[in-house]
Structure 1
Amino acid sequence: DGCAGPGGKAALLGALAAERGAFLLASEKQPHRAGLVARALDGNPGPYQVIAADGTRPAWRPGSFDRVLVDVPCTGLGALRRRPEARWRRRPEDLDGFAPLQRGLLCNALEAVRVGGVVAYATCSPHLAETRAVVTDVLKQHPGTELLDARPLLPGVPGLGEGPDVQLWPHVHGTDAMYLALLRRTS
């Protein structure tokens, strides 16, 4: 889990990893948020480690992982139904500020997986500048990467679109406007 704070996803991933005999490394840049992740994982039965590390300057060797989740920092525009006050804190130029970070995190996540490994790129934004544009740009930079169809991983969820990525919508799915793309490193 490349952007693990505050730990909810890491706790779920840790439980799933424990069922499969896998190891979870949860990384969070901010030490106080890494502490929240450690608390969320406390009592998890499987092997795991929480570290405070910057995903744009990895503390691990390339090709170290089978799978990486990178739920990138974003504008949070997809969570406005739960946090309507956030609309007053965001400006159009915020998109430009997140773009290099999102691309850097995704590029480093791809380098962190072994050949055949999969990266899940997720964000709670519906804005194309934080979703498909990031994935498209990174695919161009990493020719040894393919985009996988994420829709089969969400069985029973209607209205997932043409794929291969998934954009969830509050008015269709009853969730935040979350985005998911799966990328496999092929060489």
Structure 2
Amino acid sequence: MGRHRASGRPGRPWAPAEAVDDQLEALLRADNDPPRVALVARPGLTTVDELIAQGGRPGRWAPTAVLLDSGQPGDLPEVRDGRAAVQDEGSQLVALALAAVPSEATGVTAGRWLDLCAGPGGKAGLLAVLASAAGADLVANEVSEHRADLVRATLAPAIAAAVERGSTIEVRTGDGRDYGAEEPGAYDRVLVDAPCTGLGALRRRPEARWRRQPGDLTALGPLQRDLLRSALDATAPGGVVGYATCSPHLAETSFVVRDVVKRRDDVEILDARPFFTQASNGALIDLGNGPFVQLWPHVHGTDGMFFALLRRR
């Protein structure tokens, strides 16, 4: 009986070929099923109960999530004014998990968060209110001016609320690859939501299965590595970096992380699973063997989000 390497999938690190084939078939079927609309209730701006009162029901994993079985999200006043937004539960869990990690950074960097690739603003929108609630400041960076404008619009309610709390949320336009050199050790918590092929969201973007080519991995790999290196350099000793992609492809996930880490002696990989468990109030299951987290449409009903957690020593 043949055996396939199945690192990153739920279950054993080595599995019979038939089991892997069954998982693959289930994944492909899930990618053909239209996803349910998930909303995020941004803490401090609205509540899950307010969205449920508008016809939603609680999400499966994220405590901030509400699912809509019918209707248009834009019809909800909470969505129209930016207190809530359409956001996959997997994406919500990434932000919630990163916010839950204890930082060991000290000094002036404590309480400074950075979203290195913030556009169009989904994860930044949740990070912004989480940072403000924690008394932290957030910089949301985006390389494209157009996408930076989208981030500003998304974060507008959170920016106003942060002012009342005495914290700041700043949206910048810049190349994320420059932060490590320009602001070394300036942040205690950094998210790298790296540009990727988006293969984890084929159920939302079915056309991608014809548009994407193997060569896309070759083009994206150097950028992903450069962004992660920059994020690590911009992180203070004791601080943490979360590396996320909406792709389960090893060339965009664990290969990138391990390739960057093996060239440094000041970084350790943390087990991300406990923080996803914490972010879901203990509900999340089948997170695999660690230390990385890989969510799957056919297992978790989310997009195929990958997440790695690193600490700067």
Residue of structure 1 aligned with 2:157, choices 20, 43, 49:
43
- The residue type equivalent to 1:18 in the other structure is S
In structure 2, distance between residues paired with 1:38 and 1:141: 36
CA deviation map 1:53-94 (0-9, x unaligned): 101122841000000000000011111011111111101111
Matches within 5 A, 1:8-87: 8-44=122-158, 45-46=161-162, 47-58=168-179, 60-87=182-209
Residue of structure 1 aligned with 2:229, choices 99, 102, 107:
107
Higher Cα Rg, which structure: 2
CA deviation map 1:112-139 (0-9, x unaligned): 0000110000000000000000000010
In structure 1, distance between residues paired with 2:267 and 2:191: 16
In structure 1, distance between residues paired with 2:148 and 2:188: 22
Q: TM-score, normalised by structure 2?
A: 0.59
Superposition deviation, residue 11 in structure 1: 1.0
In structure 1, distance between residues paired with 2:177 and 2:133: 30
Residue of structure 1 aligned with 2:295, choices 163, 168, 181:
168
Structure 1 segments of 4+ aligned residues over 3 angstroms from their partners:
none
Indicate yes or no: 2:300 matched with 1:178. no
In structure 1, distance between residues paired with 2:265 and 2:209: 37
Superposition deviation, residue 8 in structure 1: 1.2
Percent identity of paired positions between Structure 1 and Structure 2: 61
Indicate yes or no: 2:218 matched with 1:96. yes
In structure 1, distance between residues paired with 2:276 and 2:178: 32
Indicate yes or no: 2:251 matched with 1:129. yes
In structure 1, distance between residues paired with 2:133 and 2:174: 26
In structure 2, distance between residues paired with 1:60 and 1:38: 23
CA deviation map 1:123-174 (0-9, x unaligned): 0000000000000001012221000011011122110001011011110010
Q: TM-score, normalised by structure 1?
A: 0.97
Secondary structure of the equivalent of 1:109? helix
5+ residue gaps, structure 1, are none
Tell me what 1:144 maps to: 266
5+ residue gaps, structure 2, are 1-114, 163-167, 278-282
- The residue type equivalent to 1:64 in the other structure is A
Question: Which of 50-59 and 92-101 deviates more?
Answer: 50-59
Secondary structure of the equivalent of 2:265? coil
In structure 1, distance between residues paired with 2:133 and 2:178: 30
